[in-house]
Structure 1
Amino acid sequence: MTDHPHRPETVAAGALGYEDADSGAIIPPIHPSTTYVRDPDNAYSRGRVYARADNPTFDTAARTLSALENGADTLLFASGMAAATAVFMALEPGDHVVVPDVMYWALRNWLHGAATRWGLRVEGVDTADSDAVRAALRPGETKLVWVETPANPLWTVTDIAAVAGLAHEAGARLAVDSTVATPVHTRPLDLGADIVMHSATKYLNGHSDVIAGTLTTARKDEAWARIKAVQTQQGGILGSFEAWLLQRGLRTLFARVRWQSAAAQGLAERLSAHPAVSDVLYPGLPGFPGHGIAARQMTGGYGGMLSIRVKAGAPAAIATAAGVTVWRRATSLGGVESLIEHRASIEGPTSPVPGNLLRLSVGLEAPDDLFEDLDRALNRAAG
């Protein structure tokens, strides 16, 4: 595990106290070089061979994230999907994996499509139900349990510690997609997970200008070596400029996420009383299923994501999204701008998402402006 003497806010803001040894610069540089010079004896004493396997620009972001997650090592990928799929591609054909039945839709589609054709046995369950996870596990056959918590876009909460215990008892590893929680609110490795994944496109970068993914491991073992080999061999690496932008975003992570979480909590409470809203899905609400688990494993807030179900149905939900002016009608989440999206339309006819659901990513705007904008749109759509 990473041992750092300072609190995580200090680690993130100071980029691990980075200071250039030659110039004294406090901002890490960008290294665009794709290759590195050999020593006269043909060795690489400085440890770098080729940028597909390594790049100095990765170092500060990777080390910072390892410190924030209390992990042993971090890999940066070209996207969240590249990071997530690398974990599954490091398994063997025929291996059994347990995944959520409602999760990030692109990974869900890949798992039930390309991954099954490649030979993985994929079983989807409600991972928020520990009994369902226990029933799905096949000791000796299940090699990986993958959970997402809070899970997009219903924001269901999985008990990481409980599922980690079940997975390990069956001889499997636990990987957690913690994109929404971020290390600001949850440290899955401290709760027993083996790997934590982030779509760094979202909160870790936080400015909607980088596509990136990360994996952090609890330990450098054979399984981690296989994942690292997949990254190198498949070439799913992050570019130098993107890695630099990711590090820049990490420096403001705690300030952004804490603001967004507080704003989301307030919006969830106000929208719960709105006459045009039938349900608000947010782990910070006391009546939300899984709130008790979230309160145990999330600290300092419940994240900047929530969903609402519009009482008048799918047409009114779509009309609400069309009627906002402060919120932006766009996909993705975790940026400084607030986004609204009708998920069922995006995910298509096989989506498990209710048709009257709108997903809300809370940005850094004034919370009153966000509520008033949504209030007007909801009232107009309700007629």
Structure 2
Amino acid sequence: METILEIVQYVRGHLNDGPPAIMKASGEGKKIVGTYCTYMPWELVDAAGAIAASLCAKSDKPIPAAEEHLPRNLCPLIKASYGHALKDTCPYFHFCDVVIAETTCDGKKKMYELMNLMKPVYTIQIPQRADRPEDFDHLKREFQGVRRYLEGIAGRPVTDEDIRRSIALRNRERMALRALWELSAFDDPPLSGLEVHYFTEYMHFHFDKESAIPWLEEQVRKIRSAWEGGERRGHGGKPRVLVTGCPAGGVVKVMEALENAGALVVCYENCGGQKELTWLVDEDRDPMDALAEKYLAIGCSVMSPNVRRMDALKYLAGRYRADGVVEILLTACHTYAVEAYGVRNLVQSLGKKYLLVETDYSESDREQLATRMDAFIEML
């Protein structure tokens, strides 16, 4: 029987399977849809018989090239996204046929105008509120537009039955990822926060969901079985930290600093973590209504007011018994920057410690991060 460490090592060894897989799929004539955001209705892409590939946006290497066209005082995620496309250093962008984008911030939507000069970009106009009937109607109309656009790419109708099958598949993936995260609720979790991150990255870039989802379900079963059999990895008794804020994929250095300081990251509320997993798509409703309802519930800082995020933070902090909350703020991300005041007040009202970390994709603040995390963990 594999140990938990052996399972983790397997995952780490296969984090780069994506580029050859996407090249193979493209060579076989499959349509590739590039995406950036959790507001992307993955189910519609699946239903059209296409592959949804998350595009590169997590490295500082392409940023100097991006700054030849974009302002320097812009979010690093936006600059990295554009720089990778501009320099053709993202295999997923290279092989994608189209990009389906979204208006989650002003910087991104203007950048997409420039990206459209390199690849066709279809932009979903996300409503700025989520609490009115007209917001639901707006997003449903936008998703209907995405459906028609994908039908044009696929060269065939995308039927309600196609969408229902895709909804069931993606819900199964969400439930498998939830089961993975539930391991972090244990008193002595079998995985560190970084290791859970590796699993989620693995799932992002293994595109055959019919095989990847049962694989993940089996790994969670094996890890739980090993833990119940007495295998421990020394995570018990560590201060438990919830991470929130901007997307964290490009600033894994923050989680590394936290866990190097002796903490255990037990939950990511960020995009790529629990933010999108909280709600399943209702499989009993009209499929387009169900998709609009589910994606409108995402607690992104584009929403004003952003009640869903605050409710989710309150729930997750209790569910994972967090001792403290670290909020990641990417430089020049104004919506999350302003919202941080409310997050801090909420966290402190729960009797938990709070730390705001503003950073970018450079390596220059690693020592400063280590110092700040050491001090924060001592407080816990």
Query: What TM-score do the two structures reach when normalised by structure 2?
Result: 0.30
Q: Which structure is larger by alpha-carbon Rg, 1 or 2?
A: 1
Structure with greater helix share of residues:
2
Query: What TM-score do the two structures reach when normalised by structure 1?
Result: 0.30
